[in-house]
Chain A
Amino acid sequence: MLQKRLLALVGVVGIIAAACGGSQATPAPASQAPGESAPASVEPTSDLAADQILKTDIQGEPPTLDPSKAQDSNSITVLVALHRPLVYIDKDLKVVPALAESWDISSDAKTLTFHLRDAKYSNGDPIVAGDLVYSWKRLVDPRTAAPYNYVMAEVAGASDLLGVDPKKLPADSAIDAMLDKLGVAAPDDKTFVVTLATPATYFLSVATLWVTVPIQEKWITSANATEAANYVSSGPFNLASWEHNSEIVLKPNPNWYGDVKPTLTEIHMSMSPEPAQAMAAYEAGEIDTFLPVPSEDVERVKNDPNLKDGYSEQPQLSITYYTFNNGNDPTGKKKLDRCAASAKACPTANKNFRIALTEAVDKQAFIDATFSGLGQVANSMVMPGLPGYDESLNPYPFNLDKAKEDMTKALSELGVSSAADLGKLKFGFNSGAGHEPRVAFLAEAWRQAFGLETDQIGTDFSVFLTQRTAGEYDLARDGWGADYPHANNQLNGLFTCGGGNNDDQYCNPDFDKLIADAAVEPDQTKQADLYKQAQKILTDDAGFLPLRFAVTPQLVQPYVKDLISTSLDSQAPGERFWESIKIANH
C-alpha cells in the first residue's frame, strides 16, 4: 500500500518536473543572423601582439564541414576559412581571382575557361583541375543530395540531373551516364572548362560559393573525412581541432597559395547558441569579436565607455518581409482551391486589398518598435549595394487615407461591405523566435486602419514552413539572406511562377520573362535595368510586403585589426576574410 502511494507520488512529481522543465525551454530555430561590418580597422598595424590568437563565436555547431553538403551559416563561416573556390569576392563583393588566376569567357558567353595557379592542399598534394570536375559532379549527383545543387542549374547537362523524378530515382548507371555529359572538363591539370546550357552572366558569382571548391576524391571518400584528424583544406586555414558542440580551432595552412598569408596563429571558435551568453563572454574578455549584439543590450553598449569603441552596425544582404498569399497553387499552374472557389475566401489575392495593406504600414515605426531601430526601410527585394537595387521603387508609401480608399475598392470587388465580413485572416509565423511583436505590430496596424481581424498563428518552425509552402496562410512571416551578391539570387525562384521559394504564391508571366531575359543579358547595365523592371512589376502588384533591409550590431575589440566585415557576414564579424585579421598589442 505504502509502495503504491509512493509510486503515484513519483508519477505526479515526475509530471510536475517535466512540465516545469518544458515550460522554461523554448527552442528557438537557429537564426540566420546577418553579419556586420567592422569598425574602423584598416589602418596599418605596426605593433602586433606576440599572441596572434583570435577568439570568436560562431553561434552553434556546424551541421557538416563537407563543402558540397553544407547549407547552414555556421558551416559556411568555417568553410570559407578552409577552402577557396576558383574565384572569390573582395571586400566590395566584386568577383576577384582566387584558385583561378585568370579566366576567359567565350563570345557566346556559354564557355568559361579557368586557368589555375600552382596550388597545394594542406596535405601537400597539388590542386588539379580534375578535383574541380569531381567536386562539381559530386554536387549535382542526385546520390549526394546536396541542398545547394540547384546553383549548378545553368551548367550544360545539369538540368537532367537536377530534374530527376523524385518518386523514381534512376539507376546508378543512368546517373553516371548523365554525369558524363555534365559540362565540366579538365583538358589538363591547370585548365578547367565549364560549358553552360544558356549564357548566364551571373555564373561567376555562383563560382564564388563554398559548394564549388576543389575536393580531393581520396579525401572526401575516406572514413570520417570531416573530422579534424583527416581534414584536407585548400584555403588559408586548417582544421586543427573540432570538439563537437564546443569549440573549433583553426591554424594556418602552410601550403596556402593566396597572396594574403594569415598573421593569426590560431582562431578559436566557440559555439554559443544564446547571444546573451556571447555578450557576457565578450564583456568578460573571453572572446574578441561576436555578433549579433542582443537587441536588449544595444543601447547599453552604445553608451558604455568600455564597449562603445568596439560597437558597429553592418548592413546585411538580408531582407525582412511578410508574404501576401497571391492565390496561386505552389505548382504555379493553377489557382489555390479555396481561391478558385471564392474571392471572398482569398482576399489577399486581390491587388487593391494588398495595396491597401501595404499603405497601412509605417515601416520606419515598425523597425523602431520591433528591431530597436536597426535596419533600413525596404520597398523592394534587391538589397542596396547590388546592381538592380532601385531606391525609387515605392509605389504605395504609408498613407492611411489612401489605404482606406483602396480598401473600399477592394471590398466592393470582393463583394463584402466591411473588412470584418471577411472573417479572420490567417497570419502565420514561427513562434519563439522573436517574431511575436512584429506580427502583433502589423496585425494591429491593419485592425486599426480597416477593422480587419487576423488570427495570428504561431507554430513550430517546421509546421510553419509546411503550411506556408502549401499556401495555408493569407499572411506570413518571411525573410531572405543572399547566397551570392546578385539580383538573380533575390528574385529567381522567390517570385517566379511555381518557384522553389515562392512563399507568396505569386505568379506573373511578365515578371518571369524579365527574370529569364536578365539571366542571359551579358551587358551589366542592361541586366540591372531588367531586374529593376521586373521589380517594378512585382512592387506595382504589391506581390509581397517588404519591410526592412537588415543591419546587424556587432562588437569587435579595438585591438583586432584589419578585420574586413562584409554584408555577407552572418555568424561572426569578418568571416569572409579570416586571413586578414591581426591582433595588435593591448
Chain B
Amino acid sequence: MITYLARRILWIIPVLFTVSIITFFLMHAVPGGPWDRDKRLPQAVQARLNAQYGLDQPLPVQYVQWAGKFVTGDFGPSYRFQDRRVNDIVADGLGTTVQLGVMAFILAVLVGIPLGVIAALGHNRWPDYLSTAISIIGICTPSFVLAILLIVVFSVQLGWFPTGQWKGPNYWVLPTVALAGFPIAVIARYTRASMLEVTRKDYIRTAQSKGLRDQSVVSRHMIRNALIPVVTILGPTLAFLVTGSFVIERFFSIPGVGQFYLTSISTRDYSLLMAMTMLYAFSVAFLNVVVDILYAYIDPRIRYS
C-alpha cells in the first residue's frame, strides 16, 4: 500500500511537467501579449517591459527560467498587477476559493446523493420524476443565471443575504448554493443510475430473501455498492470546485483566485496563468490519488499492492 501510494504520488511530477510544457508553449503561441491595450503602449516601453520580464529571451530559455523558479516555489511577478507577485495574489485568494469550493462540495454531496437514492427507490414514480426534474434543471441552468436569480430573489427582493463580497457566514450562503447547483445535479444522476444497477444484483435479492429489513438492505448493501462509481466523479468534482469558479466569483464579487484562471488568459498574464494551471493540474492529479485510496475503503474487493 505504501509503495503503491508513493508511486502514485511520484507520478504526479511527470504529469505536472507535461502540463506545464504544453500550457507554456500554447499560451505563447497565441498572438498578443501582456502589454496589449486599446490605447497602445509606446514601442520603447513595450521593449523595456519585455526585457524586465525576460520576454525578450527565446521561449525554451524562458521556460527553463520559469521552471527553475517554480520548483523553488517562486511563481514570478504578475504582468497585470505590476506591484504584486503571483505568490501573494494566490495566497490572498486561495483560502477563499478553497473554502467556497469545499462548502459547495459538501452541500452537493449532502443533497445530491440522497436525491439520487430517493429517485432510484421511487423508480418511475413521482420521487423519481421530481428528482430527475431537479437534476435536469441543475444541469441545464448556467451558473450565472442561477447566481443572478439567487441575488435578485434573496438579496434584492427579500434582503436576507448580501449581494456579494466575502466578509462572513451570511456572505457565504448564496455563492455556495449557486456553485453547488451543477454538481448536485451530476451527483444525483450518477447515484440514481448506479443505484438502479445495483438493485437488480443477485446479492440484493439474497439479502432481501434472508429477511433483512428494507432499511438495512438499502443502507448496507445497495448504497455502499452504488457509491463506488459516484466516488469516482467526486474527485474531479472536488478539484473543479476548489480551484474556483470564474462565473461565481465574478458575479458575487468574491476575492478568490478562480476568476484569474480566465482573466489571466485574456490579459496574457503569463506567470499567473501558469500558476493557476499548475494549481488546477495538481488538484486533479492529487484528488485522483485520494479517490483511488477511497475505493479500497469502500470496496473491500479492491486491494493495492
Cβ-defined contact, A467 with B163, below 8 A: no
Cβ-defined contact, B48 with A142, below 8 A: yes
B5 interface hit (Cβ, 8 Å): no
> Scoring A residues 227 to 271 as 1 if CB is less than 8 Å from chain B, else 0, what string do you get?
000000000000000011111000000000000000000000011
Tell me the nearest residue of chain A to B190, going by C-beta: A13
Known contacts A27-B265, A281-B163, A465-B32, A6 near B44 by CB under 8 Å: no
Contacts of A94 in B (CB 8 A): none
A32 interface hit (Cβ, 8 Å): yes
A479–B37 alpha-carbon span in the complex (Å): 12
Cβ-defined contact, B45 with A24, below 8 A: no
Instruction: Give the interface segment out of B12-20, B123-131, B249-257.
Output: B249-257
Cβ-defined contact, B266 with A500, below 8 A: no
Tell me the nearest residue of chain B to A65, going by C-beta: B83
A7–B292 alpha-carbon span in the complex (Å): 9
Cβ-defined contact, A276 with B143, below 8 A: no
B80 interface hit (Cβ, 8 Å): yes
A537 interface hit (Cβ, 8 Å): no
Contacts of B251 in A (CB 8 A): 274, 276-277
A403–B186 alpha-carbon span in the complex (Å): 57
A50 interface hit (Cβ, 8 Å): no
Tell me the interface secondary structure of chain B in the complex. helix
B49 interface hit (Cβ, 8 Å): yes
A204–B262 alpha-carbon span in the complex (Å): 41
A135 interface hit (Cβ, 8 Å): no
The one of B240, B247, B253 in contact with A24, judged by C-beta atoms closer than 8 angstroms, is B247
Number of A-B contacts (CB under 8 A): 184
Contacts of B37 in A (CB 8 A): 71, 147, 465
Tell me the nearest residue of chain B to A18, going by C-beta: B240
B42 interface hit (Cβ, 8 Å): yes
The one of B33, B45, B152, B232 in contact with A10, judged by C-beta atoms closer than 8 angstroms, is B232
The one of B31, B46, B93 in contact with A466, judged by C-beta atoms closer than 8 angstroms, is B31
Cβ-defined contact, A245 with B92, below 8 A: yes
Cβ-defined contact, B164 with A281, below 8 A: yes
Tell me the nearest residue of chain A to B45, going by C-beta: A145
Tell me the nearest residue of chain A to B80, going by C-beta: A63
The one of B162, B255, B265, B268 in contact with A244, judged by C-beta atoms closer than 8 angstroms, is B255
Cβ-defined contact, B42 with A500, below 8 A: yes
Cβ-defined contact, B247 with A9, below 8 A: no
Contacts of A9 in B (CB 8 A): 229, 232-233
Known contacts A167-B47, A169-B47, A243-B255, A20 near B182 by CB under 8 Å: yes
Cβ-defined contact, B93 with A245, below 8 A: yes
A105 interface hit (Cβ, 8 Å): no
Cβ-defined contact, A6 with B31, below 8 A: no
Contacts of B267 in A (CB 8 A): 462
Q: Report A497-542 residues with CB < 8 Å from chain B CB.
A: 500-501
Tell me the nearest residue of chain B to A465, going by C-beta: B36
> Scoring B residues 229 to 247 as 1 if CB is less than 8 Å from chain A, else 0, what string do you get?
1001101110110000111
> Scoring A residues 16 to 42 as 1 if CB is less than 8 Å from chain B, else 0, what string do you get?
011011001101010010000000000
A104 interface hit (Cβ, 8 Å): no
Contacts of A434 in B (CB 8 A): none
> Scoring A residues 275 to 307 as 1 if CB is less than 8 Å from chain B, else 0, what string do you get?
011001101101000000000000000000000
Contacts of B44 in A (CB 8 A): 142, 162-166
A548–B143 alpha-carbon span in the complex (Å): 34
Known contacts A25-B262, A273-B250, A10 near B245 by CB under 8 Å: no
Known contacts A10-B235, A276-B148, A465-B36, A284 near B156 by CB under 8 Å: yes
A163–B268 alpha-carbon span in the complex (Å): 26
Cβ-defined contact, B236 with A17, below 8 A: yes
A29–B259 alpha-carbon span in the complex (Å): 13
Contacts of B66 in A (CB 8 A): none
A160–B291 alpha-carbon span in the complex (Å): 63
B51 interface hit (Cβ, 8 Å): yes
Quick one: which of A163, A272, A277 has the most chain B CB within 10 A? A277
Contacts of B166 in A (CB 8 A): 246
Contacts of A281 in B (CB 8 A): 163-164
Cβ-defined contact, B48 with A284, below 8 A: no
Contacts of B51 in A (CB 8 A): 169
Contacts of B164 in A (CB 8 A): 270, 272, 277, 280-281, 286
Contacts of A273 in B (CB 8 A): 250, 253, 259
A188–B32 alpha-carbon span in the complex (Å): 47
The one of A149, A460, A469 in contact with B40, judged by C-beta atoms closer than 8 angstroms, is A469
Cβ-defined contact, A145 with B48, below 8 A: yes
B81 interface hit (Cβ, 8 Å): yes
Cβ-defined contact, A17 with B237, below 8 A: yes
Contacts of A66 in B (CB 8 A): 82-83
A246–B255 alpha-carbon span in the complex (Å): 5
B43 interface hit (Cβ, 8 Å): yes
B151 interface hit (Cβ, 8 Å): yes
A3 interface hit (Cβ, 8 Å): yes
A461–B252 alpha-carbon span in the complex (Å): 24
Rounded to whole Å, the gap between the CB of A532 and the closest CB of chain B is 24
A480–B39 alpha-carbon span in the complex (Å): 8
Rounded to whole Å, the gap between the CB of B153 and the closest CB of chain A is 11
Tell me the nearest residue of chain A to B81, going by C-beta: A63
Q: Could you pull out 19 A-B pairs where Cβ atoms are within 8 angstroms?
A: A6-B229, A14-B239, A17-B236, A27-B262, A63-B80, A64-B83, A69-B82, A146-B45, A166-B44, A166-B47, A224-B83, A245-B93, A274-B251, A276-B148, A277-B163, A277-B251, A280-B163, A460-B32, A465-B38
- Give the 8 A-B residue pairs with the shortest CB-CB distance, closest first: A462-B32, A166-B47, A246-B255, A245-B255, A25-B246, A145-B48, A27-B266, A280-B163
